[in-house]
Amino acid sequence: MVSLSEAQRQGTLECVARRWVKAVKKAPRIDEAQNLYGGRSISEAKNAKKVVSGELYVVSAGLGLIHASEKIPAYNLTVSEGTGSLAPLLRNLGKRPSDWWSALINELSPPLSLRSLIEANKKARVLLALPSGYLELIAQDLNDLTSAQTERLRIITSRPGEAVLSQRLRRLVLPYDERLEGSTYAGTRTDFPQRALRHFVTELGGHNLDHVTAVSKVRDAMEAFQKPVRPARVRKSDDEILALLQAKWDKHGGSSTRLLRYLRDDELVACEQSRFRGLWLQMQKELSTRGEE
Could you report the per-residue pLDDT of 207-225, keeping only the tens digit for each? 999 999 999 999 999 999 9
pLDDT value of position 169: 95
SS (H, E, C) the chain: CECCCCHHHCCCHHHHHHHHHHHHHHCCCCEEHHHHCCCHHHHHHHHHHHHHCCCCEEEECCCEEEECCCEECCECCECCCCCCECHHHHHHHCCCHHHHHHHHHHHCCCCCCHHHHHHHCCCCCEEEECCHHHHHHCHHHHHCCCHHHHCCEEEECCHHHHHCCCHHHHCCECCCCHHHHHCCCCCCHHHHHHHHHHHHHHHCCHHHCCHHHHHHHHHHHHHCCCCCCCCCCEECCHHHHHHHHHHHCCCCCCCHHHHHHHHHHHCCEECCHHHHHHHHHHHHHHHHHHHHC
Q: How confident is the model at residue 6 (pLDDT cuts 50, 70, 90)?
A: confident
Q: Any idea where the domains of the chain sit in the sequence?
A: 7-223, 234-292
Q: Report how far residue 182's alpha carbon sits from residue 195's, in angstroms, rounded to the nearest whole number.
A: 12
- What is the residue-averaged pLDDT of the chain? 92
83 pLDDT above the threshold of 90:
no
Q: Which of 206, 196, 209, 212 is nearest to 162 (CA)?
A: 196
pLDDT value of position 63: 94
pLDDT value of position 293: 57
| pLDDT 10s digits, 159-203 | 999 999 999 999 999 999 999 999 999 998 889 999 999 999 999
28 versus 273: which is more confidently predicted?
Answer: 28
230 pLDDT above the threshold of 80:
no
292 pLDDT above the threshold of 90:
no
| pLDDT 10s digits, 110-169 | 778 899 999 999 889 999 999 999 999 999 999 999 999 999 999 999 999 999 999 999
The dihedral region occupied by 218, where left means phi > 0, alpha psi between -120 and 50, and beta the remainder, is alpha
Q: Report how far residue 141's alpha carbon sits from residue 134's, in angstroms, rounded to the nearest whole number.
A: 11
pLDDT value of position 80: 80
The reply to whether the predicted model has a pTM over 0.85 is no
Q: How confident is the model at residue 291 (pLDDT cuts 50, 70, 90)?
A: low
pLDDT value of position 112: 82
Q: Report how far residue 43's alpha carbon sits from residue 237's, in angstroms, rounded to the nearest whole number.
A: 31
270 pLDDT above the threshold of 80:
yes
